[in-house]
Amino acid sequence: MIALSLGLLCTFIGVVFLSGCFVHVDSALFTARAAGDETKIANLRSLQSAWDKLGKMRQVLCSSPGLLILGFGLLLASYDRSWAPHYGAVATVYAVNLISLLNQRKYAKSVLSGGSYGDSQVLRVINQNIRMCFVFPVVYAVLASKT
């Protein structure tokens, strides 16, 4: 039951992050919510500029796969218990994701100056997803073994 609940939660959050890749944070709606605070508006524009430098595909690869892999893995293990013992499959997918993220980080460091707010936040997101590649396979193994 825990694996199913966490699987649904991770999948939902992953889909939210995935859909967030296609929303411009410097749009009129977001700048209106900043209530005229020039610092917030500048940060939103800086963040959007940093993601635009990387492109949509790199943004998708850098932001959402970690949660989606865990979510789908847990949902699959909850649905069909014969998949639960295959920890290596999820770990392999995370290893591929890790290689992709390391390549994306290398590219981001070469393209982004690192001095602006947006650049540092993009690199932070990539680093957080790299950490997920080490932690989430362990979480999957523990939760899938309990199903």
**pLDDT (0 to 100) of residue 83:** 74
pLDDT by residue (tens digit) across 94-114?
999 999 999 999 999 999 987
**pLDDT (0 to 100) of residue 147:** 65
Q: What is the mean pLDDT of the chain?
A: 86
CA pair distance 99, 133, nearest whole angstrom: 10
pTM: 0.85
**pLDDT (0 to 100) of residue 70:** 87
**pLDDT (0 to 100) of residue 31:** 76
**pLDDT (0 to 100) of residue 105:** 93
**pLDDT < 50 stretches in the chain:** none
**pLDDT (0 to 100) of residue 63:** 85
Q: How far is CA 121 from CA 50, 128, 130, in A?
A: 9, 10, 14
CA pair distance 110, 70, nearest whole angstrom: 30
**pLDDT (0 to 100) of residue 25:** 76
**pLDDT (0 to 100) of residue 108:** 93
